Amino acid sequence: MVSKLVSVLSLTILGLVVSPVVFSSPVHALSAHVRCLQDQLNAAGYRDGPVDGQVEDTTRGALENFARDHGLQIRSELTSDNAVTWCRRLGLNDPALRAYWPSARRPVALSIAHDIPRDLAERVENRLEAEIRSLSALLGLDLSATDDVIVVRNETWRESLPRMQALRGAGDSPFFAQAMERHCTGTNRLGGWTVSGLTIFCLRNDAVLGETFSERDLRHALRHEAVHLIQHQVSALRVRRINETPGWDPHELPIWMAEGTAVILEGRYPAQSAVSTADRRLLSTFDNRDWPDLRQLETRLGLKIDYDGVYLGGAVAVSYLIARHGGYRALGNLYERMGEGRHFDSAFAEAFGLPLAGFYDEFAALGRTGTDGLLSR
Ligand SMILES: [Zn+2]
């Protein structure tokens, strides 16, 4: 009541039209994923313990027993980061358990800072859930979790740190601050970034919806991060720092694919045309630059080696895969196989019906024929 009063007063004093504080009670994204798992294990008779969101031995033991009885392989130890994928796998295995999926109540919990302009806040509120649902339908995936999305302003994001910490327990780490710095500044629009279960959007300095960025830009930004939320939820992706690259982790989605998929599915470039590759605008970006070597762009280090290659080359590659090798459903299938603990290369071969090495060679050959050749094939 007091805080409500304060915000009403500040509205009056500043004479601004801003949205009210809509931060709901803490959701604790990661512990909610563990609770989902604990609920299901209790309901299935594999556990009789408190639903407290803590990863401990009784939950691990119950999960091992459930997995053994149902033929589910455990390839890495249960953590709060991968609990979201286990929450989903148990429900997929036994439809009765899906009643415990948090998404049954809501797929996204949105928190919008009080100083985000009302028109932007309303559009995010109205669009985000629909975009997540349309993407999951396109990929043929049932989503299980409630993901958290926070919208803040560049000038005041630090005020939201306690909330970010409550959700991730990482709000004040240097990694977190660096990521906020990177996404809150730069071109005049809404920057976004995603870790498992959480997307943060930051409205940059001077960004104004309808002036420095359009409704279309907003939709693209929402869809881009929604793709990353889905990738994390279904594939149990690890969160890695840009320099943390002692070689390739086969459990990780290559960065060219993570970003290329987000670029294609955000809707800026069509992916499904009969021409089968990507649209001319996308391909023309390679007229004056080297064709990307996807093998060099698997880890996040790829962002330093060839940033455009990751995003635009990744988009051409993903568009090509969608058109020639199995459609959107194959992408969803890839994520599910990875969520089952498969390495990326075997999940890729199963989902698209061709070996990863073969695809890399095919893609390199496309570059040698030139983009005109690609369009006319
Ligand atoms: Zn991205």
**Domain with 110 in it: what CATH number?**
3.40.30
- Ligand 1 centroid to Cα of residue 262, in Å, is 6
Instruction: Say if residue 11 is in the same domain as residue 132.
Output: yes
- What token pair was written down for 55? 């990863």
Round to whole Å and give the CA distance between 98 and 88.
8
User: 204, 235, 266: which is the final residue of a domain?
Assistant: 235
- Ligand 1 centroid to Cα of residue 46, in Å, is 38
- Ligand 1 centroid to Cα of residue 11, in Å, is 34
Pairing of strands 198-203, 190-195: antiparallel
DSSP structural state of residue 98: G
Question: What is the model's pTM?
Answer: 0.86
User: 103, 121, 148: which is the final residue of a domain?
Assistant: 103
- Ligand 1 centroid to Cα of residue 275, in Å, is 25
> Stretch 218-233: mean pLDDT, rounded?
94
Pairing of strands 190-195, 147-153: unpaired
- Ligand 1 centroid to Cα of residue 9, in Å, is 38
Round to whole Å and give the CA distance between 327 and 314.
16
Round to whole Å and give the CA distance between 180 and 174.
10
- Ligand 1 centroid to Cα of residue 214, in Å, is 19
Checking if the pLDDT of 317 tops 70, the result is yes
3-state secondary structure of 192: strand
Is the distance from CB of 252 to CB of 238 less than 8 angstroms? Answer: yes
DSSP structural state of residue 254: P
Instruction: Say if residue 7 is in the same domain as residue 148.
Output: yes
Q: How many domains does the chain have?
A: 3
Instruction: Say if residue 159 is in the same domain as residue 96.
Output: no
Closest CA to 192 of 101, 131, 254: 131
Q: Please, which residues have CB within 8 angstroms of residue 33's CB and are 6 or more apart in sequence?
A: 80, 83, 84, 87, 102, 145, 197
- Ligand 1 centroid to Cα of residue 273, in Å, is 23
- Ligand 1 centroid to Cα of residue 360, in Å, is 21
Instruction: Say if residue 57 is in the same domain as residue 156.
Output: no
Among 14-18, 84-88, 92-96, which stretch is predicted with the lowest mean pLDDT? Answer: 14-18
Report the percent of the chain where pLDDT is more than 70: 82
Round to whole Å and give the CA distance between 253 and 264.
16
- Ligand 1 centroid to Cα of residue 260, in Å, is 8
Among 25-34, 146-155, 245-254, 325-334, which stretch is predicted with the lowest mean pLDDT? Answer: 25-34
- What token pair was written down for 254? 């290559």
Round to whole Å and give the CA distance between 340 and 103.
20
Residue 130 lies in a domain: yes
- Ligand 1 centroid to Cα of residue 228, in Å, is 7
The boundaries of the domain holding residue 68 are: 29-103
State the angle between helix axes of 215-235 and 83-93 in degrees (0 to 180), rounded to the nearest 10: 70
